[in-house]
Structure 1
Amino acid sequence: MASGKIMIIDDEESMCQFLSIMLRKEGFDVQTYTSGRVALEKLQADSFDLVITDIHMPEMDGLEVLSGVKESDPTTPVVILTAYASLETAIEAVNRGAFHYLTKQAKNEEIKMVVKKALEHRRLRKENRFLKKQLRIQHETKKMIGKSPMMNEVFDLVARAAPTDSTMLIHGESGTGKELIAKEIHYASKRADGPFVSINCGALPETLLESELFGHVRGSFTGAVKDKEGLFAVACGGTFFLDEVGDCSPAIQVKLLRVLQEREIIPVGGTRPIDVDVRVVAATNADLELGIEEGRFRADLYYRLNVIPLTLPPLRNRKDDIPLLVDHFLKSLSANGERKLTPDALELLTQYDWPGNVRELENIVERMVILNEKDVLEGDDVPPRIRNFGNEPVTVEDQDLGSMSLQDLEKQHLIRILNDVGWQKRKASSILGINTSTLYRKLQRYGLEQ
């Protein structure tokens, strides 16, 4: 049997009786009212899953009832009944938020079908609201953590920028929490009740990425058997997070520029533009300015994305936050929340440079918790790679320093850092505190190419 609480409003008692008998046979809880005003008063004290109202009534017509229902609970669907199939009235009712309209001459099966669809719509909206609430709660448990001066600057910028609709570009190494900070921006904005949609632009080939971002129309390519809505359309009313935007191909960059300039998209194979109301937050661990110099990234797109730049510091530059992060991970990973670290274990974690940043720290803490059953984790429980960090020999011996020029010292230091990171130039430039283009110039000066 079906379930659901339905309110019927019609000034004709016979119509109320006919609908209530039919719907009660289907298992619905039905209450009838011959006055729109009385019905709305009842709505203030009780909730209903569906309202069916006549449009032409004395004292208060159906459109006024519709407005009152939407004011009381916007998620309650309203079906309008009319004795005459007036197209103008139907359009006005739908524009005001009615779920559907029916003529009083409609067949019983048609009425039942519309009622079931309306109730399913109500159920999905309630489920959607519940899931959004759960996402918000989940986000509260996964907030960015830090009290260091660097992170306080990040939080201050988020607080100032989040309420706006300005496009933001987040810079940061892998594992620093770029998506987490993007969610902070979303949930602190006026779009918090809208969707938060994310995509990693470097994880998909160009053709698939284009279809995912902008959608496609049926027949636009082999395998496109039906129209597909793109993620920009899905994100309407909310925030779209473009991770690793620097990995986008030139063709995708042109389309992204159009979205930011015109606030519209054209699906793959389509001809008509679709308006999109979405805030874009992008992120990258690449040097986009170097990408512009090398012709890999469009300058006009960069300036459109970089309206409000935000840089997330690597963990090695905010080691004061490591105890806070470790404590947070221990509480979330421990069943009773009572797992602790000894001071020497914490010291070992603090002195490590964390090339994988917060993500690497979380993984190490998780490994320590899983592999050790004791409540207090000691220095010996820290992985050997981290325990032995800093004990390896340095490239430049102390006794040689006095005879070396400043340029020789710089060259040797560059070699040591590059060897440490496997000649990953982006990572090396981050450790050295210089941008990648400066590092390339130094490598050319010293003839250090690998």
Structure 2
Amino acid sequence: MSRPIRTLAAAAAALLLATACNSASTGGGSGGSGTSDARPGTSARGVTADSIKVGGIVSMTSASGYSKKDTDLGARARYDRANAEGGVNGRRIDYLGAEDDGQDPARNLAAARKLVQQDKVFAVSPMSSVAFSGADFLDGQRVPTVGWGTLPSFCGPEHIYGFNGCLVPTPGGTLNQTWPEGIAQVLGGAKGRSVALIAGDNDAGTFGIRTFTQGFKAAGFAVPYAKAVVPATSVPSDWSAYTKEILRSGPGGTAPDAVVSVMQTPYNIGLFTALKRSGYRGVISDPTDYDPGLLAKDATRQALDGVHVLLQFQPFESDSPAMRRFKADIRKAAGGRDVPLNMHMMTGYMSADLFLSIAAAAGKDLTAASFQRAADGFSDTGTLVGDRAEPKGRKESFGCGALVRLRNGRYEVAVPFRCYPPIPFR
């Protein structure tokens, strides 16, 4: 599997995720506050002779009803396997589970403080929330933190890692072209094709629009509509104003060839339903709706039918050894039940996997400093997100990508998992 050379935080493919994942908040916490068990850089907080204490922060609940609770199951599945195999250099992982931040910045920072100051964890993995206001605090306390790198806080800070790298592009960095190139394959080429981009009315949405506009234009698409206009605080009950503008945005007032949404599931269901009722027959795509659990309701299944979803990991439909192992680990953690797989499980699983891999490389003398030294020279290949390397991951994505399509109640691979050359981000 080739390594995705610089990929802006998937900005093109990940910011999308970032935005798609929701909205963006970069650390607003107090990096220097709080107490530590030892001198900065040498702290072994949470590490004993036979255990490593780890916690998580996940948006189990949110005001919109969107939940990432299965992120916790994914992390637990990976930690359980590590313990079954003897732990990390002889130490078991004492996984405390994930704190629910409710997708609220104040609760996110409070959860970070609790895990460090009260629970005395060595690491926070997974961290999956768009309200990552605890970033500065965790980095200041030298707490290894691993999550989905769809926010700026995963790009640069010394102790914070994206499980598939930094997905948010910065000037002088690069854009991952997985999404634009994947859509081009679905359409049989980008020449003469147009794409409409829509996002929430917040900072993340604005940045996502900027990012993806550049990426799709670089791939050869016309982008006649690119707006971050949907209220970020509540799902619209009437989508007609948005669909009318989108469907007249193509050449000569025609509909665009593709509509790309960088929003969460509740928004996508409303938008996609409205587009289909308006008679739209083009390609519809988003980065969040790869979840068999969404298919339980007829209205949701109909809204998502035919939608192409961007992934930054191997599709569950693949049959690689790594995917078979992932499925077995999830099944075991779920008590032997075959639970519907979703991307949140993968987020938790691969966050835990990256933490475990670096911790193993750090050796028996595990401290914040030794973990950091190991991270600075870490690399491996053939994972579910492609090849990984640090400190590259603080500035670039090392995930590739695929597109899956929902058809007749089942997901199928529309564009296989692969990597694409990045482009400079301006």
TM-score over 0.5 for the alignment? no
The TM-score bracket by the shorter chain reads: under 0.3
TM-score, normalisation: structure 1: 0.20
TM-score, normalisation: structure 2: 0.21
> Greater strand percent: which structure?
2
> Greater helix percent: which structure?
1
Q: Higher RCO, 1 or 2 (CA under 8 Å, sep at least 6)?
A: 2
- Larger CA Rg, structure 1 vs 2: 1
